[in-house]
Amino acid sequence: MAASATLEKNGERKQIPLGFCWTALLFQFCIPIFRKDPNKLKYVIFSIIADSISGFTFGLSGIAYSIVLGLKYNQMYAKTLLDNGWKPATETDRQALISNGVNL
């Protein structure tokens, strides 16, 4: 079962995933678009560049970038939301964020 946390802002709640992001591994540059996260556009551009040069490295740069993005994307997404004023809904959510490497 994947870890998740609930964040809230102005009475609105949002469930966010924590841990490894399989969708980022598989779909790379589409994730910021799906999650409506315009701040991560630079990762979209870097993904396109990594995929384009992966032909020169026999696909290793694209695979390596996909793995790193899968490891870090949920953590970066949670940090972006926290920077935009979202707060953990409960103490359990706060501890889940901390245990997954999100600095509060």
- pLDDT at 1 > cutoff 60: no
Please list the residues that pair with 88 across neighbouring strands: 7
Tell me what the pLDDT averaged over the chain comes to: 84
Per-residue pLDDT tens over the stretch 26-73: 887 777 777 877 777 777 777 777 777 767 767 777 778 788 888 988
Could you list the beta-strand ranges (E) of the chain. 4-9, 12-17, 87-88
Q: Kindly indicate the confidence band of residue 4, based on its pLDDT and cuts at 50, 70 and 90.
A: very high
